Structure 1
Amino acid sequence: MSLLINIEDLLSGTIVEGTRMEFKQGWNPTPIMRTVCAFANDFENEGSGYIIVGVEEKDGRPVRPVLGFDPNLFETVQKEMINYCNQIQPTYFPVLSLEEIDGKHVLVIWVSAGTNRPYKVPDDVLSRTKTYHYRIRQYSSTIVPSQEQELELIQLTAKIPFDDRVNQQAKTSDLSFALMREHLEKTKSRLFDESARMSVEELAQQMNLSQGANEHLFPKNVGLLMFSSTPQKYFKGAKIDLVEFPEGVDGKNFNEITFEGTIQQQLIDVLSYFKSNIIKEKIIKFSDREQSDRVYNYPYEAIEEALSNAVYHRNYELQDPIEVRILPDAIEIISYSGADPALKQRDFTRGIVRARRYRNRRIGEFLKELRLTEGRATGIPTINRALRENGSPKPKFDTDEPDRRYFIIEIPIHPAFTIDSDTLEEKATPQAIKILEYCKEPKSRAEILDYIGITNQTKNFNTNVLPLLEQDLIEYTIKESPKDRNQKYIITEKGNLLLSSLKKDNQ
């Protein structure tokens, strides 16, 4: 059988993370079967693992051109694997595929996450005396779990992520043969050509979208969500509601659009709508330099990553759709239920998020194959980077602690799209301009008031400094503790933009 993923994409590491791949120069059953067991246990709910035989490794990356695997040995290895896989407790069989790359063949062992974990394997499948241990992946290594990890692995028994579970309310024939083949064509899988001669049931099994005996074969939830014509028939909340509030949520006017169909098509359609109708560009000219800045109200990359993560990580057992709210000064993306309890609000605030386990491991695999989402734990850093490079304010995250009912990402609009000629004169008083210029470096309250020649009193602060804070022209340097005695104030991107606009108008 051929892989779902193109072998070139697999080796590139752009779609499958290094932790889910292991390279072997040659066929060596003992370490290979340990890794098969570890990938099948899928301790971190990462999804499929791949063992590539015939490839040398250096610093975790494959060495190209590959060494190669003798294709004449393929049938022999297949027969040996039957014996070795029967030694795994309970029995587990991966998929073997002979792939071509660099003018040579390599053997790829595709190990999808097992549905009967935890699995044990002999330390040495070639030894007459068998000593069994559980095996798990830790980063890029296969290890025997510690006592604590072993207990956690055992507790994962039958805790299969929702997207990888069998749905007995549907039939395998409810899957769309055309949609499955369309995915294979987009990912340039060799299985695309082979699938032309298969039935929908056979292709579903080859793509690991179904499970059971031939007479009791049922589709998995991921198959119905991504490869059925009407996923909403089985999951009422599997849709995206986009609402535009041009006057804010309290305004009378709003425009609502609902996106349905497969979840990947919903994502593509919403992103297309953003490109055509929401994202705008502006050229900012400066008086002190010739080069202009090209900025966007919302950088596309940040929107793409935030929406992809909502589709990837939402709870499809709930009937609540993903909500996208387009407000006058921000975009909110709301998904249900909330973030995993292991992730804390402070993690999102710092921009350092390390998920232990993923809610929808199979959905993530397919979205990565389609290049609709990035690799492991890159979502929040990507959003932060895209906004920073665009000169936009930082995003806000709400994990709804401690209830964890929802998760909101708020992406603020670039300040260039909130300042207009009608408000410039009101905000740009001589005193305000003086303070903004002074606060290009962090300054304390006392320093600011002394600089503009007035006493350090609350009334003077409220009159001269507080309005600039409220208008987001300056901000705290210690945001988490506004009343900190070491608090200082610094100009924001919006404040800098106001100064630049004033200088340009005065030329």
Structure 2
Amino acid sequence: MAVPTNIKTLLAGNAVEWARIEFKETWDAEASLKTICAFANDIDNWGGGYLVIGVEEKDGRPVHPLKGIPADKIDDYLKDMLNKCKRIQPEYLPIVEVVDYQDKKFIVVWAPGGYLRPYSSPKSMAREEKERICYIRKMSSPIMPSEEEKRDLYNLANNVPFDDRINHEADIVDLNLTLIQAYLKEVESSLYEESKHMEFVDLCRSMNIVNTLPEYTKPKNVGLMFFSLEPDRFFPYAQIDVVQFPEDLGGNQIIEKTFKGPLHQQLREALQYIRNSVIQEQVIKFPDRAEAERFFNYPYAAIEESLCNAIYHKGYDVREPIEVRILPDRIEIVSHPGADRSISEEGLRTYQVFNRRYRNRCIGDFLKEMHLTEGRNTGFRKILNALERNGSPAPIFETDPERLSFCTTIFIHPQFLSPNGTKDGTKSGTKKATPNRRTERVQLVLSTIQEDPRVTVRVLAEDLGISKNTILRILKELQENGTIKREGSSRKGRWVVL
């Protein structure tokens, strides 16, 4: 049985973080069992990890030339591995593959995060050893958890990520072989060749997209999201809506385009649509030098990363689409729910965000294999860098207090705006529209709450044609600078202009 990636990718560390890969020169039962147990517990929801045997390591990286495993030792290693893995409780067996690479043999062990965690293994391989430990992975090592981490691990046991859950409403026939094989071929997995002659259910188990009970085989949600022709049958509104407002939110003209299908396909199709119909390049030539100045209204890299992040972090149990709103001076990418509560609003404002507990660990694994995302807290930095290189204004990342939605706002390059702050495609406009529009919106909000102190955020958004996230941000800033205050509850209270 093969793993759904290839050893070349693992040795390069491009699609899988180094912290999720461990190299062993030989099979060391005691040390390796702790590693497998830690990957299975997956305390940070990384998606488990890989153990590559036959590779010497230094500082967590493979040492070249690769040593490999003598052919006469392979069978002994596999038998001992099976016997030792049976000592993990509850029952857990990783997926193991013997691979040939550079004329040498290696054993690749894939230990995905299990859904019966916490798992424990013996402290030592001594026959009389009775102490068991729920090892976890921190940095690049398996360690004994602290008391707080033990509580965290038990809490996680009751909270299997949605994408890793079994879907009891679907059947294995809802998974499409052609889609699976196309994915395996794209990521250059050795499983691709095996998929041509192996049983379909065995292929799905190798991909970890079905459960492992032989008497009750059902797809996991992540399998349906990527390898079902119609994922929206099982996850209503698992789609991307691209909505253009040429006359801004208050205008009469709206252009809508909806993208459905497997997650990676709808993501690529939506990005291609935006690239073709929205993104424009402007070239300014100068009489005193040969080099022209080139820039885009929106850098594609920033849009790509923002939309990939929305796919990665969306809650697929929430019946709301990902919405890309294209307005004359900005693009807003909205997904549901909002950011994890470990991410503060101050962190979003200052772009200082660190979060290793991902909402969709399995979705992230598939996206990383296709190089659509990295999942290493690099998303914000990539967006900022792309905008800075293009000369674009800084973005805004915001979530509402209830963490119901998340919005990324990317502003148009200032030279695509006329001096009065409207999009006209001229080459000479250099005045940024954002401050003027912001002042206008603040005044509109203030005027409205003066006329109706009991107006709600929802009504403000609908009446003024401004997004709910923007209304919440304006109200918060007005309260912080002492312009307004709130009296009473959020439902029955009222606004007071000071």
Task: Flag as ranges the 4+ runs of structure 1 deviating above 4 A.
Answer: 286-290, 420-424, 466-469
The offset of 1:214, in angstroms, is: 2.2
Please tell me whether residue 192 in structure 1 is matched to residue 200 in structure 2: no
User: What runs of 5+ residues in structure 2 fail to find an aligned partner?
Assistant: 424-429, 439-475, 481-498
Alpha-carbon RMSD: 2.6
Match of 1:412 in 2: 411
Which amino acid letter does the alignment assign opposite residue 200 of structure 2?
V
* Structure 1 segment 272-421 matched on structure 2, within 5 A: 272-286=272-286, 290-400=290-400, 402-419=401-418
* Structure 1 segment 102-501 matched on structure 2, within 5 A: 102-286=102-286, 290-400=290-400, 402-419=401-418, 470=436
Q: Distance in 2 between matches of 1:302 and 1:210?
A: 34
Q: Distance in 2 between matches of 1:268 and 1:467?
A: 31
Q: Distance in 2 between matches of 1:311 and 1:467?
A: 30
Evaluate the alpha carbon distance shift between residue 422 and residue 416 of structure 1 in structure 2; reply closer, same or farther with a 3 A threshold.
Answer: closer
Moved more, 81-90 or 24-33: 81-90
Match of 2:10 in 1: 10
User: What runs of 5+ residues in structure 1 fail to find an aligned partner?
Assistant: 425-432, 437-465, 473-479, 485-507
Match of 1:74 in 2: 74
CA displacement 1:199-248 (0-9 Å, x = unmatched): 33221111111014223111000011110111010011201111011110
Which amino acid letter does the alignment assign opposite residue 123 of structure 1?
K
SS at match of 1:258: strand
SS at match of 2:91: coil
8 Å contact kept, 1:175–1:200: no
Q: Distance in 2 between matches of 1:133 and 1:139?
A: 18
SS at match of 1:225: helix
Q: Distance in 1 between matches of 2:19 and 2:279?
A: 36
The offset of 1:89, in angstroms, is: 1.5
8 Å contact kept, 2:329–2:433: no
The offset of 1:126, in angstroms, is: 4.3
SS at match of 1:364: helix
Q: Distance in 1 between matches of 2:295 and 2:415?
A: 8
The offset of 1:367, in angstroms, is: 0.6
The offset of 1:291, in angstroms, is: 3.0
Match of 2:60 in 1: 60
Q: Distance in 1 between matches of 2:352 and 2:73?
A: 46
Match of 1:504 in 2: none
Q: Distance in 2 between matches of 1:245 and 1:300?
A: 19
CA displacement 1:150-200 (0-9 Å, x = unmatched): 111111113110000000011111110111111111111111111111233
SS at match of 2:82: helix
SS at match of 2:392: coil
8 Å contact kept, 2:414–2:433: no
SS at match of 2:291: coil
Please tell me whether residue 83 in structure 1 is matched to residue 83 in structure 2: yes
Which amino acid letter does the alignment assign opposite residue 245 of structure 1?
F
8 Å contact kept, 1:15–1:368: yes
Evaluate the alpha carbon distance shift between residue 415 and residue 82 of structure 1 in structure 2; reply closer, same or farther with a 3 A threshold.
Answer: same
CA displacement 1:9-39 (0-9 Å, x = unmatched): 1111110001101111111111100010000
Moved more, 219-228 or 414-423: 414-423
Evaluate the alpha carbon distance shift between residue 69 and residue 247 of structure 1 in structure 2; reply closer, same or farther with a 3 A threshold.
Answer: same
The offset of 1:90, in angstroms, is: 1.1
TM-score, scaled to structure 1: 0.82
TM-score, scaled to structure 2: 0.83
Q: Distance in 2 between matches of 1:188 and 1:367?
A: 14
8 Å contact kept, 1:283–1:295: yes
Q: Distance in 2 between matches of 1:63 and 1:348?
A: 39
SS at match of 2:223: helix
8 Å contact kept, 1:41–1:119: yes
CA displacement 1:342-376 (0-9 Å, x = unmatched): 11121122222111311110000001111111231
8 Å contact kept, 1:33–1:125: no
SS at match of 2:75: helix
Q: Distance in 2 between matches of 1:194 and 1:468?
A: 55
The offset of 1:289, in angstroms, is: 5.3
Q: Distance in 2 between matches of 1:147 and 1:293?
A: 58
8 Å contact kept, 1:65–1:102: no
The offset of 1:481, in angstroms, is: 9.3
Match of 1:460 in 2: none
8 Å contact kept, 1:342–1:356: no
CA displacement 1:424-465 (0-9 Å, x = unmatched): 9xxxxxxxx9xx9xxxxxxxxxxxxxxxxxxxxxxxxxxxxx
Structure with larger Rg: 1
Q: Distance in 2 between matches of 1:423 and 1:129?
A: 74
